[in-house]
Structure 1
C-alpha cells in the first residue's frame, strides 16, 4: 500500500522547511571571487520540499507548499524557478500539482547549471576546472555539491597560489633647502644713505659747493659794509667843515 502524508502533516512540514538551513549558518567561512573571507552561500535542495504525497492534500495545502518553494527560489536567487512557480500559481490546482510532481527538478537543475557557469567568470584555474567537471557530470547532486562546497575548495587553492604582494619602498625624504636669512623683497641699505639731521650718529661735516656759497656771501656783505662806512665818514667830514 502506498504511504501517504496526512494533509495536516504536509502543512506543518511546509512551515518547518525554512528552519532547515539554520544549521548551514554554522558552515565554516569561505573565499569569494576576490579572495575575501565571506560566509558561504548554501543552496537548498528544493527536491525535499516536493518529495511528499501530492495527491491527498487539498488545493489550499498545495498552494501553501508551493509558497514555500517560491520562498527558497527567491532566497537562492534562482530566477528560472521563481518565474515558473509564480506563473504556475496563476493556473489551476491540477496544473500546479503536475508541476510540483515532475516540473520542479528540471527547472531547478537548469538554474543550478546557470549558477555554476556564473562562478567561472573571472575565476582562477582551479575554480574553472572544478566547474567544468561539474557541468560535464550534469546531475543535480553534482551541481549542488559544487555550489555548496566545491567552489570554495577550488577558490582556496586559487587564492593560495596568488603571489604575495610586495610592499612598496618607502619614499625617500629630500630635505628642503635652507631658507636665506635675508627676507625676500627686503630693501638693502646703501652706503650713500644719510643718517639724519644735525650730524647725529657720527655724520660727516658738509663741504664743497655749500661752503663756497657761504664764503662768497660773507665777502659781499663785508665789501658792502666797507663802502657804507666810507660814505658815512665823507658826509660827516663835509658837515663839520
Structure 2
C-alpha cells in the first residue's frame, strides 16, 4: 500500500461499552471499539493523523471544522442510531458528497447517514450464535483486497444474512459464509457525489474481531482506497425539500 499522510477520524457512538456488560467490553476493548480500530490503522498508516470521536462529544465530534480536515471518516454504531443529531447527519452527508471518504462498519448499516446516502432501508437478516465466519474475496483485483487472506477466518461472529437491502454496489469485494449456511455481501463499495464509501460488516461488539490482523488490513486498505486528498474538496448543500418546491420557483 502506498502510504499517504491522511487525516483519519474514527467515530464510535461509545454506548455499548458503558451500557452492555461493561466489564467484558473493558477487557476486550479497553480503549473502546474506536480505540481498537484506530490502533489497527496506526500499524498500516503510521504517518497519518488518526483521531477518534464519540456520540457524547460536542456536536458528536463531527463539527464542520473537524469534517473539513478529514480525508476518511470511519463509522461504528449499534444502539444509538436515533440519537445522532439530524444536523450532524446532513453535515456528514454533505462532506461525503464533496469528496470525504466514508467507511461504514458492522451495525453501522443502520446509521442515518448510510441510509440517506444509499436511499434504501439497509435492513438484513441477523442472528447471534457465535459461529465461524469465512470472508471470501470475490474481487481480488480491488485495492481493498490487497494482501488479504482468502478466506479470512473469524472463529466467532454474529451472522448477517441476505437479503441485504442496498442498491447494487459499485464493487462487490467480499462475500461471507456462516456455519448455518447463510451468505452475506460483507464488503461493498459505492460512490456518492465525489465521495467513496466502503461498507464492511465483520466486527461485532461481543467478539474481539477488531484485533484480528486480517480485519485490520481490510479496514486499512479501505481507508487508503476511500481517501482522495488530491481532489478539490467541496461540500454541496443538501436539501430535503420536495422537488415541486424547485419546480414552482423555476
Alignment TM class, shorter chain as reference:
under 0.3
Query: Larger Cα Rg: Structure 1 or Structure 2?
Result: 1
Higher helix share: 1
TM-score (norm 1): 0.24
Which is richer in strand? 2
TM-score (norm 2): 0.23
